[in-house]
Amino acid sequence: MKIWLDGRLADKADARLSVFDHGTLYGDGVFEGIRVYSGKIFECQAHVERLFASAAKVRLTIPYTRQQIVEAMQQTLAANAMTDGYIRLVVTRGEGTLGLSPFKCPRGSVFVIADQIELYPREMYDRGMPVIVARTRRTSPTMLDPSVKSLNYLNNIMAKLEALDAGVGEAIMLNDRGEVSEATGDNIFIIKGGGVLTPPVSAGILQGVTRRVVMELCAAAGIDCREQTILPAELYAADECFLTGTAAEVIPVTKIDNRPIASGEVGPISRRLIKAFYEFIRR
Ligand code: PMP
């Protein structure tokens, strides 16, 4: 496997960062996860823009242009002869000294991995996935803007551990007001009375690229879809539920905290949107 690291392609075993990189020392950095379908980088511009927006919000200078970042991804795909898979694009603060100050890191590091990813067992895409509501709350926007896709995922990892301890693959996180925000690495949608609902950005979520695509697919299909505050009680009482994310794609949820959602079967609107999503990526 070839890794693109700071301007050159290296073998996986040789692609190394300094232990003094603030990405490693402090989780100081930003990243993107991006799908590749049939040789095409899915929603490439949206991901590159979000990477630069995340970096700007934490005052991290990416030492390449947007075009160079796209070329780095294309070179990595070509070097690995990959046409379908998952790209991990990472920008760290770079090598510095001990101590938090990012000003001690003269230049950020960029690397690109092209690999495969499977978050949840394949059969759950058909039959639905059980999840829990985590006790761990999602980081408040007053602490760290959740729209920054940063290398600090410990908040999400703590919730993921709760899910794994409970024997399920995913956890829904509430924000500090007790409203539904998102899953540990996915956005959430519920369906109630034929309408599709997803928490607003103000609920403290990462603005998912897949979330936006699904909202557009709803609009194109004439399905009412809106951003609305969702309380845990509304989650349990939903007719249907699904999660969206680059790695997850669109996965139906059929059980929350051991309670079946409606009949416990994957519902018709979820099925329709999952089908529309796969048609969209193959277009
Ligand atoms: N929320 C979080 C916390 C995420 O990490 C992700 C991405 N894995 C998402 C939502 C989904 O975003 P996207 O659709 O852009 O992958």
* pLDDT score at 137: 98
**Given the CA of residue 149, which atom of ligand 1 is nearest to it?**
5
For residue 283, pLDDT beyond 90: no
149 among known catalytic residues = yes
Measured CA distances, 69 to 54, 100, 173, 184, 226 (Å): 15, 27, 32, 26, 33
* Tokens coding 30: 């930003």
Fold of 2-115: D-amino Acid Aminotransferase; Chain A, domain 1 (3.30.470)
Q: Cα(141)–Cα(155) distance, rounded to whole angstroms? A: 13
Coil/strand/helix, residue 56:
helix
pLDDT tens digits for 1-23? 999 999 999 999 999 999 999 99
Beta bridge partners of 92: 29, 109
Q: What is the 3-state secondary structure (H, E, C) of 148-203?
A: CCECCCHHHHHHHHHHHHCCCCEEEEECCCCCEEEECCCEEEEEECCEEEECCHHH
Nearest 5°: phi and psi at 255? -150, 130
pLDDT tens digits for 97-121? 999 999 999 999 999 999 999 999 9
* Tokens coding 145: 């803007």
Residues 99 and 89 sit within 8 Å (Cβ to Cβ): no
Residues 13 and 1 sit within 8 Å (Cβ to Cβ): no
For residue 56, pLDDT beyond 90: yes
Return the CATH number of the domain spanning residue range 124-281: 3.20.10.10
Residues 227 and 260 sit within 8 Å (Cβ to Cβ): no
Ligand 1 neighbour 138 (Cβ under 6 A)? no
- Using the CB atoms, write b or e for 109-122: b if 16+ within 10 Å: bbbbbbeeeebbee
Ligand 1 neighbour 210 (Cβ under 6 A)? yes
Round the average pLDDT of the chain to a whole number and report it: 97
**Given the CA of residue 212, which atom of ligand 1 is nearest to it?**
14
- Residues 56-85, mean pLDDT to the nearest whole number: 98
* pLDDT score at 18: 97
Taking alpha carbons only, the member of 248, 283, 250, 277 closest to residue 86 is 248
Q: In the chain, what are the domain boundaries?
A: 2-115, 124-281
**Given the CA of residue 245, which atom of ligand 1 is nearest to it?**
14
Ligand 1 neighbour 185 (Cβ under 6 A)? yes
This prediction's pTM: 0.97
Taking alpha carbons only, the member of 235, 147, 149 closest to residue 198 is 235
Ligand 1 neighbour 156 (Cβ under 6 A)? yes
Name, in order, each residue with C-beta under 8 angstroms of 251's C-beta and a sequence gap of 6 or more. Answer: 120, 124, 125, 129, 186, 242, 243, 244
Nearest 5°: phi and psi at 25? -70, -35
Q: Which of the residues 57, 149, 192, 275 is marked catalytic?
A: 149
